[in-house]
Structure 1
């Protein structure tokens, strides 16, 4: 049985990674790969229900640790129901957010203990990490401006956070890039979509297929 390939896409809000993910699918399928896409939090029924609780803008009373634990619970269910079966089936799996989001948002953004988050991620995933992570980097104000211009996007609880939190999140991601350069590739998300997609595809091809 051929083990699949596990790729995650990360970035601050407004970086455009979800759009890039969709554009990557046909190009990767052209390589003869079975491509499966999914997202966190969500991807399976239980995790999608947890997602709705986390992102509900009415849940302003949610404690930071509660938020973290909900993300971790959704991650575990997603891993068991979606990620592991796809990889065991030999698929090329593209996941919109994974363990790095918890470090960036709840660790650097919320100020929770990063060692504790690393332990929870390890526990929830049985130590599984992506083969490759694409980090889409963009100036925080530009990213939030993109969100504001997108009239079709629903406003969620994280969209209501301060600029300062989003700055800390970006700092967290950049710290991860420096720490795990063998796994994480930084993509300039300020370019137009075509250039960002090309850079992402090139990173995948060079790291995993060349």
Structure 2
């Protein structure tokens, strides 16, 4: 049996994570390998219910530490219920957000203590890290512009944040990239989708034998 592999896709809002993941899933499914696509927050029944609480725009009064702890609860349930079993089967797991999102959004975005978030991440995951993380990078203004142009549904709670908050999130991701060069690799998300996909596949091929 092939060893399972956890590939997380990170990036600020509007960076195109979901679209890229679908393209990657199609590519690797054609190789005959089991591919599991999932997301945070969510990905499992209880975790999806927590997601609804987190993103509900009526919950604007949610305090930053409450937000962080809800993300961690969702993360734990999702990991044990869906991700770890898939990895044990030898699947390639493509995850839309994982541990780095908490550091970027709640750490750099909200200003919560980074060491505390690191500890909570380790506690929630029993130290499980992605095998590789693709960081889709683009300016916050461009990402928010894409969201506005493509919006077809309701606004969620995080959509209500101002530009400066999204800029802090992006800078947080870039800081994480500098601190974790062996696990995080950058993909220029400002390009057209075929070019982004090509970059992503090159980055994966440089690190993996999938």
Normalised by the length of structure 2, the TM-score is 0.98
Once the two structures are superposed, the pairs formed by residues 26-175 of structure 1 within 5 Å of their partners are: 26-175=26-175
1:51-92 Cα offsets, whole Å, 9 max, x none, are 000000000110000000000000000000011000001000
> For the residues of structure 2 that align with 1:205 and 1:30, how far apart are their CA atoms?
16
> For the residues of structure 2 that align with 1:158 and 1:103, how far apart are their CA atoms?
15
CA-based RMSD of the aligned residues comes to 1.0
> For the residues of structure 2 that align with 1:153 and 1:131, how far apart are their CA atoms?
33
> For the residues of structure 2 that align with 1:191 and 1:155, how far apart are their CA atoms?
25
Contact in 2 for aligned 1:147/1:153 (Cα 8 Å)? no
Cα–Cα, structure 1 residues 175 and 63, in superposed 2: closer, same or farther, change >3 Å? same
Cα–Cα, structure 1 residues 181 and 153, in superposed 2: closer, same or farther, change >3 Å? farther
1:202 aligns with 2:199: no
> For the residues of structure 2 that align with 1:133 and 1:152, how far apart are their CA atoms?
29
> For the residues of structure 2 that align with 1:39 and 1:152, how far apart are their CA atoms?
20
> For the residues of structure 1 that align with 2:153 and 2:207, how far apart are their CA atoms?
33
> For the residues of structure 1 that align with 2:22 and 2:88, how far apart are their CA atoms?
22
Q: CA deviation at 1:24?
A: 1.0
Further displaced range: 30-39 or 6-15: 30-39
Q: CA deviation at 1:3?
A: 2.7
Q: CA deviation at 1:153?
A: 4.0
> For the residues of structure 1 that align with 2:153 and 2:182, how far apart are their CA atoms?
34
Unpaired runs of at least 5, structure 1: none
